[in-house]
Structure 1
């Protein structure tokens, strides 16, 4: 176990190092002068050069990268070019919003997907199986931005059941905060629920055909006990993989959904930072998303051994 953890932690460091180089390179290849963005189009060349010198923009790219990554190691993500606010402070301000959206979306997805996947697998070839399969294909095929606009038109504009957009902190007005987050959470959660339903159905069908399932039935175990007590737990491993990766994506920010519903989370922060050429914020936010993905994958590997004791965390051997 210890050897596995050391190997994976080392791999995480290498991956994040490579990702940081890619992020830094891509951001600095983007057209636009940060100094001119800060001082405006009317700024003189002398003032622009002075600001570039102060910000280290005249240094070679490798020097700028080492300065940036050295600061991150010390917890300093730099300052926003827009208002000179520390990037880490900005990220921490937006993170609770994205976490709230993530939790609600994930809860909606699991509430829909687990019963749908189980019923579809245990009632193979029936109406419920076809219904679940159609839902899974439809949910994966519908783009989130289109579903979000459709939800706003139906439930906010036509029926008036929910507010169309915006955000309020739960500690300010809990009820209104939940109502504002329902539509974006559904827009994100429906796609995830469709993916989990399809994966769970496929995994359950494979498990239900195993010898130990037939043995359980021959011993007189009721269908509910076989499905829930034996089949479901063993069918969850591929589902955990899909769910974990999607969860990491949500934590990184549902960019399109947050933009459509005017939710001030990490996703919208990245969009705004790109539009204003706020390079430090873009770099910090994207690196945070990468960290969320890598850490989630690490936790999934550990969860595998809990769900299936046959999987040994011994550095790749089982």
Structure 2
């Protein structure tokens, strides 16, 4: 276990280092002068040059990167170029909002995918199976932003059941918060549910043809016991990989959905920071997203060994 954790930790460090180099390089080759963004276009050349020198923008890029990396390792992502607020404090305010959206989306996906996949796999060739297959194919075909706009037109403009956009924290008003998050969570969760349904159905069909499943039926076990106690657990191994990656994608890929529904999370923050050329905010947000992805992948690896004792964390069987 120790060597496995050490190996995974080393890989995480390498991945985060590569991400930091890529994001720092890409942002610094984009057009735009941070000094002019702060002082305005009417500022004098002398003031611009003095600010560039103070911010270290005149240093070579490798030197700028090392300074930024050193500060980032200490939890300091710098100051926002727009309002001079601490980037770390800004991110800490936005992260819970995006996590709430991601968890609601993932919960909706699981609540839809697991029953649909079980019914489809155990009733293969029936109308229920065809309906589940149609949902899987159509769900992955519709982009989340299109689903989001469609949900607004139906449930807000047409029926008036749900508020179209906005955000209220759970602490302030739990009911209002859930209602505001329901449509964006559905827009993200339906696509994820379609992918999970297809994957879990295929995995269940393969497991249901195994010898130990036939032995369970031969012993007189009820179908519910065979499916839920034996087949479903062994079918989750490949599904967990997709679930972990998709949950990480939810956290890092909510830019468009948060913008459509006016949710002040990480996604909307990144979008507005890119438009404003607020490089410290973009760098800090991307690094936080990358960190969440590698942590989730690490948790997926650990979950493998819990679900299937034959899988050892050291890679031996």
TM-score w.r.t. length of structure 1: 0.98
Equivalent residue number for residue 193 of structure 2? 193
Equivalent residue number for residue 293 of structure 2? 293
Is contact 1:165–1:263 with CA below 8 Å preserved after alignment?
A: yes
1:156 and 1:258 map into 2 onto residues whose CA distance is 17
2:148 and 2:221 map into 1 onto residues whose CA distance is 44
1:168 and 1:60 map into 2 onto residues whose CA distance is 44
2:124 corresponds to 1:133: no
2:310 corresponds to 1:317: no
2:236 and 2:102 map into 1 onto residues whose CA distance is 20
2:134 and 2:61 map into 1 onto residues whose CA distance is 51
Residue 244 (structure 1) shift? 0.7
Equivalent residue number for residue 230 of structure 1? 230
1:237-276 superposed matches below 5 A: 237-276=237-276
2:161 corresponds to 1:161: yes
Is contact 1:253–1:265 with CA below 8 Å preserved after alignment?
A: no
Equivalent residue number for residue 144 of structure 1? 144
Structural RMSD (CA): 0.8
1:5 and 1:132 map into 2 onto residues whose CA distance is 39
1:102 and 1:13 map into 2 onto residues whose CA distance is 25
Unaligned runs of 5+ in 2: none
Is contact 1:253–1:289 with CA below 8 Å preserved after alignment?
A: no
Equivalent residue number for residue 15 of structure 1? 15
Equivalent residue number for residue 98 of structure 1? 98
Residue 253 (structure 1) shift? 4.7
Unaligned runs of 5+ in 1: none
TM-score w.r.t. length of structure 2: 0.99
* 1:32-81 Cα shifts (integer Å, max 9, x gaps): 11111111111111111111111111110000000000001111111111
Q: Secondary structure at the match of 1:182?
A: helix
2:8 and 2:255 map into 1 onto residues whose CA distance is 29
1:33 and 1:139 map into 2 onto residues whose CA distance is 43
1:169 and 1:230 map into 2 onto residues whose CA distance is 40
Is contact 1:112–1:193 with CA below 8 Å preserved after alignment?
A: yes
Residue 317 (structure 1) shift? 3.3
2:171 and 2:74 map into 1 onto residues whose CA distance is 32
Is contact 1:117–1:132 with CA below 8 Å preserved after alignment?
A: yes
How many residues get paired?
317
* 1:177-223 Cα shifts (integer Å, max 9, x gaps): 11111100100110111110000001000101111111111111111
Structure 1 residue ranges, 4+ long, deviating more than 6 angstroms after superposition: none
1:79 and 1:253 map into 2 onto residues whose CA distance is 24
* 1:255-308 Cα shifts (integer Å, max 9, x gaps): 111011010100111000000000000001011111111111011000000000
Is contact 1:98–1:253 with CA below 8 Å preserved after alignment?
A: no
Equivalent residue number for residue 177 of structure 1? 177
1:291 and 1:55 map into 2 onto residues whose CA distance is 26
2:82 and 2:88 map into 1 onto residues whose CA distance is 14
